[in-house]
Each structure stands twice: as structure tokens, then as C-alpha cells.
Amino acid sequence: MQENLVHPTSPSDTPKPRRLEPEDAQQALYRLKNILKRQEVVESLAQRQFEDDDRSNLLEGLIHRQHESEIKAILNDLHPADIAFILESLPELERQAIWQLVDAEHDADVLLEVADWARESLIRSMDAADLIAAAGNMDADEIADLVPDLPPDVVAAVQRGLTDEERAQLIEAMGYPEDTVGAIMDFDMVRVREDVTLEVVLRYLRRLQELPDHTDQIFVVDRADKLQGTLSLTRLLVSEPETLVSSAMSTDYLTLNPLDSDSDAAGAFERYDLVSAPVVDDIGRLIGRVTIDEVVDVLQEDSEEQALSRAGLQEDDIFAPIRTAIRNRAPWLLINLCTAATASFIASRFEDTVSHIVILAFLMSIVAGIGGNSGNQTMTMIIRAIATGRVTGSNVIPLIKRELLVTFLVGVCGSAVTAFFAWFISGSIAIAAVMMAAMIGNMLIGAALGVLIPILRDRFGNDPAVGSSVLLTFATDSLGFLLFLGLATVFLL
């Protein structure tokens, strides 16, 4: 009878408890590097001391086995997340060598914890049997995360080892685009009917070895798996056992669609302090859930991407080959070169003005720099507002007006200080007045562009953070030089 009332899924294996403090991961990394360095030195000395290749190889083998034992003792006492941190902190060859010494029982958890760019190099160093064994310890949603990096024959072998239900879940998870709720949801949850008592639910839960991770609520569904409500564990524990689920459940809950943006889901978790949320399809059928651990990963990835995007970079291995690093960094640097050349060309058009009033050459960089800094402040706020969904078509104009007013008031105060400095080093009130006017004007330009550039990039489907600072710097440098030197040409010559 209970099989018709309750719909369980088997909980995933959880990592062993963390036995080390966070800083111990860095200490372990330091110890590993010392061992690797010591091994390299000793092997080099052995080769030089023994001319007999057999004796040299024997000594190297003994040294190698001793160091392997030390490394294994350090690694396999760590949490999988700490092992992932260590692997990400090593060059590729050392990373792969250390990876071979990690116990197989940790393979699945480490592969899920490690960054995408490091995971690729680890998978390349594993044979098919090891990959299949590691995937065998994962849930369908976790396997879906690894599928893009796995060889096709391994994916096929993994699918053959799944049950029909797990295979269907894997195919479903693989069908959702990246950066959507469907790509981060899991299928590990507990579902109950609304017409049973809480005592029945409690008896069922006691039969489970453990609850799925981050279970704070049980989902109530009908016979067609359509979500009817949620039953919190708190309400389950404090209510009378004879109470029906329909009476104890909550019908006021947040649901996610598998095609929703994962960033939007993260915003909902942050706004409503959620631990988990159900994912339903277009007809209201419960198909999965999103948990706080996945949301934390999304927030961290978005933060890292935004930080890199402002500099025109993509996530990459810090130990990547030089050619790869050049491909990553060169495009926006070349664009920067072009923008800087444009600003210099504009300044060169005022050669006569600068030759007559040499002090202008020292002051014009202040105008450009302050305009860029002011624009970057505004742009950072707007990019954050876009990410949280606070910028809409109806409030763009008010945002621009507000930023211009704030910038103008700040600019008046700041430019007064700058004007005093210009008067102090030049002795000219006229130069100070031109400096003040140019600085306010360029700050207003920077503020307006700080709002418009990310909004326009977002409207055209581009990441508002990618390259925005480069475009802003180009505008504030070029227009700052033009404004300052133009005003100087009109009023000082």
C-alpha cells in the first residue's frame, strides 16, 4: 500500500565528514609541493651519482614509492573539495601525477568539485574503466554535468549501466541548455500523497537509510505527479501523527521551471531564504528540485565570470600553455591598443595648444582618469542591477537622470579640488576653470555611458559585463582629451 502512496528516490552517497580546517588545504598543498620538489632533487642527484643505470633506476624507484606513500597519506585524508583545490593549484603534469594517487573512492566527488578547465585534464589522464567506475557512483544529474567532457564510448557505457529510470533522467538533464534550472536540478527527493497521515510519512522516512541532501521539505503530489503542496520537516515533526498531509501541507510555495535562468533561480533563493525549491514542467508535474548547494555554485560562477568579463577574459587554467593564454588575453588587449591609439590621435590634433601651454599635457590625464573611474562606479552598479533583474525598460531614463545628477554633484566637489591643484601648479585661474569644466563634463559622459553600455549590450543578448570597461575607458579617454583640449584651445589661446 505504501508503494502507491510514497515515491522515493535513492539518496546519493555523501562525502565523509570534513576532518580538516579550511586553511589545512593550503597547508597540504604546501607540503605536497615540498615533497614533489624534494623528489625531483633526489632523483637528479641519484642520476648523477650512479653511472650504473640499473642501480640508478632502483634507487629512483625506492624514492618514488616512498614519496607516493607520503602523498597518499596527505591526499586521502582530505575532503574531496580540498583535493579539488589542490589539483587546481598545480600545473597540468603535476596535477595529473597527483590525481593518479587519489583513492578511487574519491574520484566521483573530486570530479564534481573541480573546476571545468581542470576536470578536462583529469579526465584525459584516466582510462575508460576508471571513468565508468567513477560515473557509476554518481546520480543522473551529476553524470549530466560531466557528459560534455567524457568520451562518447564512456558515455555509452555509463548509460548501459543505468536503470531505465536513471537513463530517462540522464537524457532529460542533458536536454536542458546550460545556465538553466534544468541543468542544475536533481531528481533526488521524497514525494508523498496528500490523503495519507503524517504517521505514515514518518514510518516511511524511518525506513530510508538517510534523507536526500538539503531536504527541508517533502513534496506532495497527486497520482499524475502534479505538485499539490509542500510539507516542511518542521511541520511534520511538530504536528499530531493522525493529521492528514493535506491539512499540514502548505499551498503557498515557489516553483521553478526547468527553462528558467539559473541566475534568476539564485535570486529567488536569496530573496526568499530558500534551502530547496521544486521544479515543475508546463503542466505542473514535479520533475526535480534545486537545492542551496547548487545555487551557491551558480552564484560563485557568476561572480567569477563577471570579474573576468570586465577585463575581457574567459575562465582558464592559470597554468595553461602560453599559446592558450595568448588566445585568451590578446583580443581585448588589441582592442585596448586601438582605443588608446584613438585617444592619442585626438590629443595629437591639439599639438599647437599643448606646445603653447605645456602644463596641459600633465593635467589632461587627470580628466580622462577621473571620468573613467566615475563611469566604472556607475557601470558596476548597473551591471549588478541587471543581474538581479532590477533594470527594466521603464526605469532606464530615470536611472540615467539620477546618475547624471549624482555625478554632477560629486563632480562639482571633486573638480573644485582639482581646479585648486591646477591653479597651484600653473598659477592660472583660466586653466583651473577649464580643468574644472572639463572634469565635470567628462564625469557626466562617463556616468551616462556607464548606464547605457551594459544596458544596450544586455538588450542585444550580450553579457553586459564583457568588455564594457574597455568601451567605457575608450570613450572617457577620447572624449576627455577632446573636451579638455578643445576648451583650452577656445578659451586659453
> Over the stretch 200-234, which tens digit does the pLDDT of each residue have?
999 999 998 889 999 999 999 999 999 999 999 99
Q: Which of 467, 438, 218 is nearest to 329 (CA)?
A: 467
pLDDT at 2 over 50: no
For residue 471, what pLDDT is reported? 82
pLDDT at 397 over 90: no
Q: How many helices (H) and strands (E) does the chain have?
A: 23, 6
User: Mean of the pLDDT values across residues 312-332?
Assistant: 69
Q: Which of 306, 372, 362 is nearest to 336 (CA)?
A: 372
The C-alpha angle with vertex 233 and arms to 228 and 237, in degrees rounded to 5, equals: 120
At 50, list the grid cell.
650512479
d(CA 39, CA 36): 5
CB count in 10 Å sphere of residue 147: 16
The pTM is what? 0.70
User: Mean of the pLDDT values across residues 421-448?
Assistant: 92
Which residue shows C-alpha cell 502548505? 250
pLDDT at 244 over 90: yes
At 206, list the grid cell.
524511518
- The DSSP H or E segment spanning 371 is helix 359-387
Question: What are the structural domains of the chain?
Answer: 23-175 (1.25.60), 185-309 (3.10.580.10), 322-492 (1.10.357.20)
d(CA 457, CA 471): 11
Q: Which of 116, 82, 117 is nearest to 102 (CA)?
A: 82
| 3-state DSSP percent of the chain in helix, strand and coil, to 5 | 65, 10, 25
User: Mean of the pLDDT values across residues 326-334?
Assistant: 74
pLDDT at 301 over 50: yes
- SS3 state at 331: helix
For residue 8, what pLDDT is reported? 46
Give 286's DSSP letter. E
Q: Which residues contact 281 (CB under 8 A, 6 or more apart)?
A: 257, 258, 287
Q: Report residue 11's pLDDT band, with 50, 70 and 90 as the boundaries.
A: very low
d(CA 194, CA 192): 7
Q: Which residues contact 375 (CB under 8 A, 6 or more apart)?
A: 443, 445, 446, 447, 449, 450, 472, 475, 476
